[in-house]
C-alpha cells in the first residue's frame, strides 16, 4: 500500500496540480475529505476552488518533490513549487510540507504548511 500511496501523491503534486486538472482530484480524494490549513478546515470543494484560483493566477507551475515517504496510512512530503505570476511575470519558489492520511486508496485528510504569504492567502478562505 505504501508504494501505491506514494504514486498517488506524486501524481497529485505534479500531474494534477501543475496542470490544474482539478477533476482528477475526485479520483484521489474521498468526497468528504478534509484539508487542515492555517487553523481552518477546508472541504474538498474549497480545496479544488483554491487550486483553480492558484493555477489561473500563475504559469509555468513546476513542483519538485524534495522528499516523500509513507508510514502506515500516511504520506509525508516536502515540496518546492516554482511558479511565474501571470500579472507581474515574477518567478518565485514556494516551499511546502504536506501530510496526507489515506482510507483505502484515497486521501481522507490532509495537513499542509507553506512559507509564502501570497500562497497562504490563496488557500486561506
Walk along the chain (125 residues) in steps of 10 and give the mean pLDDT of each run.
90 79 83 87 84 87 94 96 94 94 95 76 56
What is the pLDDT, as a whole number, of residue 119?
A: 62
What is the pLDDT, as a whole number, of residue 108?
A: 96
What is the pLDDT, as a whole number, of residue 66?
A: 96
What is the pLDDT, as a whole number, of residue 77?
A: 96
* Virtual torsion, Cα 67, 85, 34, 2, nearest 10 deg: -20
What is the pLDDT, as a whole number, of residue 122?
A: 60
What is the pLDDT, as a whole number, of residue 69?
A: 95
What is the pLDDT, as a whole number, of residue 102?
A: 97
- Cβ–Cβ < 8 Å for 28, 4: no
Amino acid at each position: 500500500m505504501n508504494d501505491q500511496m506514494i504514486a498517488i501523491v506524486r501524481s497529485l503534486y505534479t500531474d494534477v496540480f501543475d496542470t490544474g486538472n482539478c477533476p482528477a482530484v475526485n479520483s484521489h480524494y474521498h468526497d468528504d475529505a478534509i484539508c487542515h490549513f492555517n487553523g481552518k478546515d477546508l472541504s474538498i470543494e474549497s480545496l479544488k476552488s483554491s487550486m483553480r484560483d492558484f493555477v489561473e493566477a500563475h504559469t509555468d507551475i513546476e513542483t519538485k518533490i524534495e522528499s516523500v515517504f509513507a508510514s502506515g496510512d500516511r504520506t509525508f512530503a516536502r515540496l518546492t513549487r516554482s511558479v511565474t505570476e501571470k500579472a507581474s511575470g515574477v518567478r518565485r519558489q514556494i516551499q511546502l510540507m504536506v501530510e496526507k492520511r489515506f482510507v483505502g486508496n484515497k486521501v481522507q485528510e490532509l495537513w499542509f504548511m507553506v512559507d509564502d504569504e501570497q500562497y497562504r492567502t490563496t488557500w486561506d478562505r
